């Protein structure tokens, strides 16, 4: 992923801030769709859901707390958060809770599958929006890039971290299912398509 997308940019601040807000709300909303589908979550959210069940707090609240804890891991990795990083740590969890509060759980399998597919596609679009705003990566994204900067392959870092949180989340009672497999298989290609179309490149000075 191009490094410039993670650098703080000062051109078009209103456009970037608006895109960031829409992306983060969309990310939380897409997660809520997958939760209500009850067909499996992505690894981090299996962990968030499982931990929430143990501590008796909503998944959105757990997302916020875990995001802030993950940010502490940036300190030894010498990662610098952007405005988008801090917004991500709070707004995704708030949006997840807000949508879950008004979205019922369907019983029909067709409706659940529809929610799952909408959630996965919506998650990819939302990821493209908030990363493409160029105001900083999310806490978990920055953890991966920070480990990569220390010489660990980003593929190895992501696999190890996500496998660990998935295993712990499952042990704590998080939902694993066909949605987990669908997310793992499709989110990379979908973001690869969405990000170039949604990224706001820096304006070049006229020569």
For 184, counting Cβ atoms within 10 Å of its Cβ (0-12 exposed, 13-18 middle, 19+ buried), the class is middle
pTM, full prediction: 0.88
Measured CA to CA, the distance from residue 22 to residue 16 in angstroms comes to 10
The confidence band for 3, taking pLDDT boundaries of 50, 70 and 90, is: very low
DSSP type of residue 5: G
Contacts of 73 (CB under 8 A, 6+ apart): 143, 146
Question: Which residue reads 């952007």 in tokens?
Answer: 82
Measured CA to CA, the distance from residue 154 to residue 148 in angstroms comes to 5
The confidence band for 2, taking pLDDT boundaries of 50, 70 and 90, is: very low
Indicate the range of 3-12, 13-22, 195-204 predicted with least confidence. 3-12
pLDDT digits (tens, 9 = 90+) for 113-155: 999 999 999 999 999 999 899 898 889 988 887 887 778 777 7
Q: In this structure, are residues 103 and 36 in contact, taking their beta carbons and an 8 Å threshold?
A: yes
The confidence band for 203, taking pLDDT boundaries of 50, 70 and 90, is: low
Which runs of consecutive H residues, i.e. helices, occur in the chain? 13-37, 43-55, 59-77, 83-102, 109-132, 139-149, 154-172, 178-198
Tokens for 38?
A: 């009850």
Measured CA to CA, the distance from residue 160 to residue 137 in angstroms comes to 20
Measured CA to CA, the distance from residue 85 to residue 139 in angstroms comes to 6
39 in helix, strand or coil? Answer: coil
Query: What average pLDDT does the structure give for the chain?
Result: 89
For 150, counting Cβ atoms within 10 Å of its Cβ (0-12 exposed, 13-18 middle, 19+ buried), the class is exposed
Task: Report how far apart, in Å, the C-alpha atoms of 182 and of each of 23, 51, 120 are.
Answer: 21, 22, 8
């Amino acid at each position: 992923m191009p490094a410039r997308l993670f650098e703080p940019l000062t051109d078009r601040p209103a456009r970037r801030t608006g895109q960031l807000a829409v992306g983060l709300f969309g990310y939380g909303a897409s997660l809520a769709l997958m939760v209500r589908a009850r067909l499996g979550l992505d690894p981090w959210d299996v962990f968030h859901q499982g931990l929430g069940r143990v501590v008796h707090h909503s998944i959105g609240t757990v997302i916020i707390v875990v995001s802030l804890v993950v940010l502490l891991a940036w300190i030894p990795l010498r990662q610098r958060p952007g405005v988008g990083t801090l917004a991500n740590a709070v707004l995704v969890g708030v949006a997840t809770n807000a949508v879950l509060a008004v979205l019922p759980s369907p019983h029909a399998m067709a409706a659940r599958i529809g929610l799952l597919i909408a959630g996965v596609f919506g998650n990819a679009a939302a990821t493209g929006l908030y990363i493409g705003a160029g105001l900083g990566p999310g806490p978990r994204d920055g953890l991966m890039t920070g480990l990569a900067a220390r010489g660990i392959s980003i593929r190895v870092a992501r696999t190890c971290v996500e496998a660990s949180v998935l295993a712990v989340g499952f042990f704590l009672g998080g939902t694993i299912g066909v949605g987990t497999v669908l997310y793992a298989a499709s989110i990379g290609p979908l973001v690869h398509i969405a990000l170039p179309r949604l990224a706001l490149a820096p304006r070049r000075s006229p020569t």
